[in-house]
Amino acid sequence: MGRGIVMAAVGAALATVLAGCGSDSDDGGDSGDGAARDKDTAASDERKDARAVLLAAAKKVGAQSSYRTVQTGQGGSDRSEMLYQKKPAATVIKAEVGKSAANPDGVSHMISMGGTTYMKTDKVPGKKWYSMDLGGDGGGAPRAAGYVSEFAGALAATDSTRWVAEEKAGGRTADHYRGKVVLDDLAKYTGPALSEDLRDSYVSMAKKQGLTSVVIDMWVGKDDLVLKSRETGEGKKGREVVNEEYSRFGAVPTISAPPAGSVATWDEFIAAQAQP
């Protein structure tokens, strides 16, 4: 977050040194250059405070009105592109699925809001979607928010978390952090990084997959917005990997339900499937 200011200070100090190259006094130039280096070092040290940066990142991401997540498994498999909108709660998911007679292109496209999920279809004449009432008042598919809050919180709650390096993520400069999260330890955590509900749901979900610990990598931009994350662990099915990339914070187009005239009911969709 302070990196841009520090680099500007370095540039200003350098300009001062160059401007004074022809003068008889060197003291002012050396002092300015040294001060800039001290500021740069201080900023770098702040970014290496992994838990502080991740706490700030979790808070900042949680305050965003919307964002985009691209989620993949190991080797880029199981790709899903997801849009998340906080108010009104709504999500869009485009996921790669197995090709079938009902889904020949192998892509599932859904919009969820107000407890209803709308699924894209070309199987109902005159309609482009069909709806399913999921009940409740949530967004219908909360996982379109990705796992950014859980990953950032789990890393901030873990003593082993460390700064790794300054790297590029999503075309931007980011700080890379890594930690090994032991789920039984995380289940006892009561600090500010994770709410009790978020902690319990994450631990429960991971344990159902047979995981006892995971390694989480996270890349945080200089503005404290998370750009990328990766969770790796050994579960019931062997190696489990979840990769996520985040973008368009606060800039996702407003998500709305499809026009009513383009939506078939569940009964109409089922009836269409029965036709030759």
pLDDT at 26: 46
**Chain position carrying tokens 């997801």:** 82
pLDDT at 23: 39
Output DSSP code: residue 267: H
Greater model confidence, 77 or 190: 190
* Nearest-angstrom CA–CA distance, 260 and 123: 17
The whole-model pTM stands at 0.79
Across residues 219-237, what is the average pLDDT?
96
> Could you tell me the pLDDT band of residue 18, with boundaries at 50, 70 and 90?
very low
Q: Is the pLDDT of residue 5 over 50?
A: no
pLDDT 10s digits, 156-182: 999 999 999 999 999 999 999 999 999
Where does residue 179 rank: exposed (0-12), middle (13-18), buried (19+ CB within 10 A)? Answer: buried
